Amino acid sequence: MHFQVGAVDLKYVTTRVRLDRDGFYLAVSNAYQRVAITDKIYLKNHRQISSQLETNIPKGAFKGATLDILFQGEGLEKLDDATRDRVLDFSEDFLDCDCDHNPYCGCPERKFIRYLLELRAEGLGPDAIVDVMSDDYMLYAYSGDILSFLDNGVRTLEAAEGLARVEGADDRSEEIREVKRDLAK
Ligand SMILES: [Zn+2]
């Protein structure tokens, strides 16, 4: 069976659900959006960081050059203490995998999306989520982008839940419903 809702290939979504929960999160995040939410996460003090590093890095936290220079580079000692602590926290929390292609393996984005969804599951709204990522990692996003990311996630889950039910995959349908409940809080 092959369902198509808007730009979303639901077969793809449910296939990913079967594979693993992390992959599913990524599928949810990308399904309705041409640009992934991780492309809309920015360094809060981008200008200061660039000047401390004495090189111009992109504003986007997940841009290749940012990951290379800021989070994996040798510029750490050039940063002030507060910034360095946050940068190290980000590296430890999101860039710690052993993949050959680290940090281009997709794990950092996947882990960050899970972080967003966990904040949502704790009951935080888009504004609060932006506040927390700012405190935790000195990152920011527009709360409108976070809101549409969460909305799109719920819509994708509703469609996937319906498909799972049609296919008779009741446990899958129940699992999706649980994730949706967290997201829609
Ligand atoms: Zn990885």
CA–centroid distance, residue 69 to ligand 1 (Å): 18
Counted domains in the chain:
1
Q: Are 7 and 122 in contact (CB under 8 A)?
A: no
List the domain range (segments joined by +) for residue 93: 4-183
CA–centroid distance, residue 29 to ligand 1 (Å): 18
CA–centroid distance, residue 88 to ligand 1 (Å): 17
CA–centroid distance, residue 95 to ligand 1 (Å): 7
CA–centroid distance, residue 78 to ligand 1 (Å): 27
- Model-level pTM greater than 0.85? no
Q: 3-state DSSP call for residue 138?
A: coil
CA–centroid distance, residue 185 to ligand 1 (Å): 30
Distance between CA atoms of residues 37 and 18, nearest Å:
23
Per-residue pLDDT of the chain (185 residues; tens, 9 = 90+): 333 333 344 444 443 443 344 444 445 544 444 568 899 999 998 999 999 999 888 999 999 889 888 877 677 888 999 999 999 999 999 999 999 988 888 889 888 988 988 898 888 999 999 999 999 999 999 999 999 888 877 777 777 777 777 777 777 778 778 777 777 66
